[in-house]
A and B are shown apart, each in its own frame.
Chain A
Amino acid sequence: MSILNSGVTQQLSKKDSKEAADIYWTRYLPYIVLVVVFAAVSIFVPYFLTISNLLSVLLQTASLAILAIGQAAVLILGGIDLSMPGVMALGSIFGAMYMRAGGNPVLGAVIMLLVPAALGLINGISVSYFGMIPFVVTLAMQAITIGAATMITNQISIPVPENFCNAMLTKIGGIPLPIIIVLILTLFLQFAVTKTYYGRWLYSTGTNMRTSRVSGVPTKKVVLAAYSFAGLMGGLAAIIMTSRLYAASPQMGKDAVAMDIIASAAVGGVSTMGGVGTAVNAVIGAIIITLISNVMNMANVSYYLTLVIKGIIIITFVAIDANSRKKSTK
């Protein structure tokens, strides 16, 4: 192999090197899709392009975007986290129960944040230190959390105090708090993954774990951190979702939510083969998926057809990614 290659790639023309500077053409796909979907929606849906409507779409997107960001961290490592919905639901329920028992809403929010983070930590330990298979670990975690959630609540929603919800939904300069949270979070994470060495470790581990290990990157800790982070994002999404629904419910954790999360990441350009994607990608994906869901909703497409369409979307995007990457690396 090595001899064959060294002969071929010896000379680099100007064109090659230009191409070499950017990564893959699929990199631009999410932006194109976003523009096309956005344009289509603005043309066909009346009053879409009003500020209040756009804000409400973004508010709808907030929790999905946060979940997709968490999923992206795991996907970049070539893993997957199917337990995000269940973990989120359980966190939300514990927090709500605490508040129902008269607990302080701030502490309630902290519980919503930390319970999912702890569950994410368990996922991370299982995958990194015990070498268990990510999808089974997280599939089991999804079953356990969803089981616990239904068990605890008997499938009845737990209302949360209004002051908690109102605090979360306050508007600052006319913009609802969750949108601001997503914005700040995205900017911060975009900075973190592109500018800090933690981010560099994440990508290098996802690109080639063996090379990273030889070069002294603490790969196990990186994996552990990514799953814990995914859990933490589940917690943040739990807070926002709960305050939007004014209640905690095991319904938040159903499997179809996982599909939206993975679809967002995949459509946004986070590669399921590892090493590619950022927070911005995840957020763009989440916006695209929310827009598509909204349109299908307005066009009275049945919920079941939306499942089919989203399934097709996921497979299409993952297939494009898998096959374009194969050509460029081999």
Chain B
Amino acid sequence: MTKKQHNFSLRDFLFTYGFLLVLLLVIVYFSVTAPSFFSMNAAMSILHTAAPLLIIASGLAFVIMTKRIDISVGSIAYLSAAIGALMISRMGLPIPLAVVSMLVLSCLMGVLNGFFVVILNVNPMIATFGTQLAFRGIGLLLTNSMVVSLPRSIRFLGNKKVGPIYIDILFSLFILLIMMLIHSRTQFGRQVVAIGNDISIAEKLGIKEKRISFFAYVVCGLMAGIGAIIMSLQVGSVTPTSGTSYEFTAIAMLVIGGVSLYGGEGTILPGVLIGGITLAVIETGLNYIGASVYVYSFVRGGVIFVSMFADSLKTQVKPKVKIMEDEPTTVSNAQ
């Protein structure tokens, strides 16, 4: 009775640990082509680069696990960072107040996305595409599309180290840990995965699908806001291009890390972390071998294409579920 289907296991193994394999290959490749690449320093700078995006990706993961999408995360990050920076350096408000407002604002942007997608039933892709441009537009309007610098008093935080480790690395690992717990050890997280498995089955099992999906967008917005804090601290300012194409990088991280765009699949730890590191390794590595900056977007597109392809193969492996009708059938009329 309890026998497992062994012919599935090898495939399962590859699909589960495939991303680790990819990471290893990438590291080996760059270590060979650029000897200085394989060093502690490089490792730290890789994690440092990945830190804000890891946080944003972990929030986006919740939305993607419900089989939806949010491509406005980069703009949410930009707008909340811009407002935070304006509050601190133009209005002179206390930093904690600015931080809290940033977080509240990013939540509100998530609420807006959730409203459009879950309540108004607007196609998630198009709704968040609209908000992506709208949020950035508002940010550019408020900042007059100028760079807003952060005061020196906090700027140092972005590149501060404890021992050899940047504190933002520790912070983002901490956030990932919390997100992992929410994903795997709370009812909300589990129900998000259930919705991604099949919305109608989830509803049949008594899950309040709309409420959970809505909340997933709010979480996604909040994480974009937290990521924005690290992002702006690292640079020391908020520039008009801060956060551009973050949605794309975050999706790439998730897909490489095994979070399926078909919903219901993937982990925050180690999945998102490894996906994030893989992508950061590729970019840092390209940097080490002296590739042009413009190569990044090209390579990132290729990477997402390939991992997406693997993802689609993976879903084709899944056994098909039979469709049965559950309506009362007619009584044969034979009077």
Contact = CB atoms under 8 A, between A and B. Distances in A.
A304 interface: yes
Interface string B262-290: 10000000000000000000000000000
Nearest to A325: B121
Interface in B111-141: 116, 120-123, 125-127, 129-134, 136-141
B312 A304 contact: no
B131 A147 contact: no
Interface stretch (B12-20, B148-156, B168-176, B291-299): B291-299
A126 B309 CA distance: 8
A302 B120 contact: no
Nearest to A146: B297
Contacts of A266: 126
A132 B312 contact: yes
Interface stretch (A43-51, A107-115, A135-143): A135-143
Given A139-B251, A143-B245, A266-B126, A308 B295 contact: no
B53 interface: no
A309 B330 CA distance: 53
A314 B125 CA distance: 12
B69 interface: yes
Interface in A275-320: 302-312, 314-315, 318-319
Nearest to A259: B133
A259 B330 CA distance: 50
A305 B137 contact: yes
Interface string B297-317: 111111011001100100110
Interface residues of B, number: 49
A147 B301 contact: yes
Contacts of A2: 327
Interface stretch (A28-36, A148-156, A211-219): A148-156
A80 B126 contact: yes
Nearest to A143: B301
B261 interface: yes
Interface string B227-263: 0000000000000000001001001000100000110
A2 B125 CA distance: 33
A91 to B, nearest CB: 16
A57 interface: no
B145 interface: yes
A311 B296 CA distance: 28
B132 A311 contact: yes
Contacts of A258: 129
Contacts of B132: 311
Contacts of B123: 272-273, 318, 322
A2 B262 CA distance: 31
B122 A318 contact: yes
Contacts of B71: 139
A303 to B, nearest CB: 8
Contacts of B302: 140, 144
B121 A322 contact: yes
A131 B316 contact: yes
A326 interface: yes
Nearest to A266: B126
Contacts of A148: 298
B243 to A, nearest CB: 13
A80 B121 contact: no
Contact of B134 (A140, A312, A323): A312
A97 to B, nearest CB: 16
A272 B292 contact: no
Interface string B86-109: 000000000000000000000000
7 contacts: A126-B309, A151-B295, A258-B129, A304-B137, A305-B141, A322-B121, A326-B121
